[in-house]
Structure 1
Amino acid sequence: MMTMATAFFSPNRCAFGLLLNVLALVLASLVFAAASLAPPASAASFDCRKASSADEHAICSNDDLSGLDDAMAAGFREARRQAPAVVKPLSRSLLAERRACGADIDCLKLTMTKAVGAYKSIILGEPVDGDRKDKVYYGTRAGMQVSVVSRSGIDTPRAVIQIEHRREDAVAFCRDYVLKVTDQCIQDELAVDLQNKFTGDCKTGRFTTITGQTYVFFGRNTATDAGIGNDFVVIDPDTNEPLDGSMASGYPVAIDQFKELCPTRVR
């Protein structure tokens, strides 16, 4: 009669145990393979399995960014429902800013938080571009803007506006004028030679622009034969000739900068 010990250590029993071990290894391999094929972290605004750009890969691999993307997507859907005409161009602009960040986590957090705030403003009926007053144009092309850092002596003989040409300003130029935001475009725009301030003497009307040009504000245009159609007379002191009011003459940008320095003179 076969004892229990004999039965346990019989060849058939050992073979069965070996089979169980093999099956366990196969099962473990299948589980590992399935895990390796599982989709990456999800993002609400796009499919992480199809992520192609640096910003998309960064979002899919970062929990904080993924959460911001969820909030941004939810805000976009509701804002689009309420104001589709406003949201369509805004979303393109915000996406371009996000793309320009590449894989920079801090930059992505900043731009995505801005996007969430913008959609929230639309939903609540608040102004979306409330900080626009802190931008000043330095040229006539779309997006040629700088950021205002500080203002002092406005409407006095020592009016000064300190400025910075920031990355967000370069992105605006590449987006609105070049119509394509790339690292090279941003670098080229940031390399433009600009002053870090523009100044004016609101008593004499003499002022220097962001690009370093000096003009003199002569007041409202009252002459009918002056040959210029603009409301105010701005003189180029090098030629003693008035700017003719055209975009090419630089008048629109010059008068706008003078308005920032000496608003009470331009009424």
Structure 2
Amino acid sequence: MLHPEISGNKWRKLKYVLRHALSEDARGLLTFGGAYSNHLHALAAAGRQLELATAGIVRGEADSINNPTLSDASAWGMALEFVDRRQYRLRHTQAYLTQLAYRYPGYHIVPEGGSCPLALPGVAELWQELPPSDELILPVASGGTLAGLLSARPAGTRLRGYAVLKGKGWLAETVHQLYPPADGDSGWQLRLDHHGGGYAKCSAADRIAIAQLSGELRVPLEPVYSGKALLGLFRDIAAGCYTPGSRLIFLHTGGLQGARSG
């Protein structure tokens, strides 16, 4: 509903990142993602509309270049460079970023998932559109959406993030780096047991359950982010993890193009 191609939290996370890049007269945008990355897809679409060159460092094999996500990105002008997992892990290191800056002069480098300090104010604006609630529930991957919501969290609302990847031991720290918590801040929690085996992994049984949820609720879902998190929420409700009578809001973060992954 926000945008046909730059959907959900990606539109919000990129809003001020793109404004900054334009104000700096950047020659292009360079970022990182997996072969079915909503972020790569959204950034490529934004680059096309803003007439900015785009480049994506893709974790995976080059034979995935014809999948629906990367086909769109390539058609929209994004230059794709495939790297193995070892090299992809270097994306946070200064030496590797310096190398990329040399190879792509004048490009603004955007972290994986768009999760950076400039993403937070765009995400925080979401609170203006939400009714009061006891808890806001959302899927979590790179942590930027959760950090942005925490930065403007109403005092009476808790946040509960459902990790859609194996985030134990590092995901909370990533959120803390983006938005350092106040002393004694207990207004949020990560649920780490509903990732289904890892990022973009989903069993056949869970895919069926997500499809059933989608039909019953009449809400389109995909099995990577919102579908996996919503399934986890319903399982936690059944297990008694939420206070009866509390008002919950589930944040659908978009990314429906990921449903094309099969």
Query: Larger Rg: 1 or 2?
Result: 1
TM-score, L = length of structure 2: 0.24
Higher relative contact order (CA 8 A, sep 6+): 2
